[in-house]
């Protein structure tokens, strides 16, 4: 199964809403809802809830049900069964750190857009052969950072990336200035100590700073 134009356009529309996608890990639904409201109030309305904890799906569903004005995706999708679980919980898109053949097949067949992960040129080429024009670049820092993605503009002009891993307010603009970067992912906007202290004002302020980053060129579908 290949990536369809309709779902690619839906993914492009989602990514065009924000320069930064918060990558969030929650141990309970209540914290997920409060954090999501704080991020939304700061201008970040596309959220990725990672499937790394026993309560991740519960938190995702609670955010979908209780927080207006946000688009919520499921991250750290590693297995085909994760795809089904995320869809049932209300995920509007799926994100994976890698792109195994089984996962590509399951993700591309899902009813919502799928953003598979790559860290090499060969992986990006394999996705392009399946019709994908968007990929997560992970782990961005260790895998080559902004210079690596800049080097891919010429040979892979149709591919656009969402770099994640090692990105913060200090270097996010380096990525966003590249014409093959649709958005960046990062956890710095919801630091664990702020969540533990329930310091939602701090989360909102960090979100405001992130949402104010310089707009990048619109990524084509």
What is the rounded CA–CA span in Å between residue 104 and residue 93? 14
Catalytic entry in 58, 136, 208, 214: 136
Cis geometry, peptide bond prior to residue 139 (ω within 30 degrees of 0): yes
| Burial profile 69-100: b = 16 or more Cβ within 10 angstroms, e = fewer | ebbbbbbbbeebebbebbeebbbbbbbbbebe
- Largest Cα–Cα distance of the chain, in whole Å? 47
Residue 55 bears catalytic tag:
no
Residue 136 bears catalytic tag:
yes
Cβ within 8 Å of residue 199, ≥6 positions away: 193
| Burial profile 109-130: b = 16 or more Cβ within 10 angstroms, e = fewer | ebebbbbbbbbeeebbebbbee
Radius of gyration of the chain (CA): 16
What is the rounded CA–CA span in Å between residue 130 and residue 114? 13
What is the rounded CA–CA span in Å between residue 85 and residue 18? 26
Cβ within 8 Å of residue 69, ≥6 positions away: 40, 45
Catalytic entry in 9, 48, 79, 109: 48
- The catalytic residues are 48, 136
């Amino acid at each position: 199964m290949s990536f369809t134009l309709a779902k690619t356009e839906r993914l492009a529309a989602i990514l065009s809403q924000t320069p930064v996608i918060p990558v969030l890990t929650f141990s309970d639904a209540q914290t997920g809802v409060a954090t999501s409201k704080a991020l939304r109030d700061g201008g970040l309305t596309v959220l990725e809830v990672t499937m790394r904890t026993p309560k991740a799906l519960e938190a995702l569903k609670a955010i979908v049900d209780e927080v207006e004005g946000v688009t919520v995706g499921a991250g750290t999708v590693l297995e085909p069964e994760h795809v089904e679980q995320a869809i049932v919980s209300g995920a509007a898109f799926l994100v994976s750190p890698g792109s195994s053949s089984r996962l590509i097949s399951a993700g591309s067949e899902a009813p919502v857009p799928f953003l598979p992960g790559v860290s090499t040129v060969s992986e990006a080429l394999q996705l392009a052969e399946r019709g994908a024009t968007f990929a997560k670049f992970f782990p961005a820092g260790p895998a080559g950072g902004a210079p690596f993605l800049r080097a891919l503009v010429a040979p892979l002009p149709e591919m656009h990336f969402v770099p994640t891993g090692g990105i913060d307010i200090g270097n996010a603009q380096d990525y966003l200035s590249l014409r093959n970067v649709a958005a960046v992912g990062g956890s710095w906007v919801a630091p664990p100590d702020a969540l533990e202290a329930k310091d939602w004002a701090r989360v909102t302020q960090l979100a405001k700073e992130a949402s104010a980053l310089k707009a990048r060129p619109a990524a084509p579908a």
